[in-house]
A and B are shown apart, each in its own frame.
Chain A
């Protein structure tokens, strides 16, 4: 149980393109979803937290107009990287938790490469 599906797993696109990443909880209702960014050989860096039906809360230094997060239902959250540039290339990972609090269940990540 507690499966989180993230799609796509890999994206390669040109600079200036906007990219949407989906995160779905398949067998539970995700009260809260988290979006992380991970650089090679580093830990996970929290970008934002979103509660269903509410605006996302962004961590300091994360541009909310650059990284648009929508959590419209209890099973789906999306991260849109707008006008992506090479410096946005990274591994993006989502996680979700239900009303019980812990644990967070993670998707398999999206490798984003901007040329």
Chain B
């Protein structure tokens, strides 16, 4: 019940296209859903995050869509650029878990020029 399932494992998108990564969870107590971007040899960096009281959050080219009833959330990258090529992780946490993050397996995104 603590798992966060992420798909796809890898994704290739043409420059200028839309990249979409999906995550699903079971634990309805999760109340914070971040997306992290990780480049090789670096630590993850927070990209965007959402709480379950909203269905969508947009920051620049990055949008989180959240479906509470389906227990799913997704990351959309508009106008994808080669510099977006990285591994993306979704995660989830609850207040009473000391804010520990439960991580998805990651998606390796490659943007082709």
Contacts and interface: CB of A to CB of B under 8 A. Distances in A.
Interface of A: 4, 6, 32, 34, 41-44, 46, 49, 51, 57, 93, 95, 97, 101-109, 111
A57 to B, nearest CB: 8
Interface in B62-108: 89, 93, 95, 98-101, 103-106, 108
Given A49-B98, A102-B34, A42 B43 contact: no
A110 to B, nearest CB: 10
Interface stretch (B14-22, B44-52, B53-61): B44-52
Contact of A103 (B41, B42, B43, B49): B49
A44 B41 contact: no
B104 A102 contact: no
24 contacts: A4-B43, A6-B43, A34-B100, A34-B101, A42-B105, A42-B106, A43-B89, A43-B103, A43-B104, A43-B106, A44-B89, A44-B103, A46-B100, A93-B43, A97-B99, A101-B95, A102-B49, A102-B93, A102-B99, A106-B36, A106-B43, A106-B44, A109-B42, A109-B43
Nearest to A101: B99
Contacts of B42: 108-109
Nearest to A6: B43
Nearest to A94: B43
Nearest to A97: B99
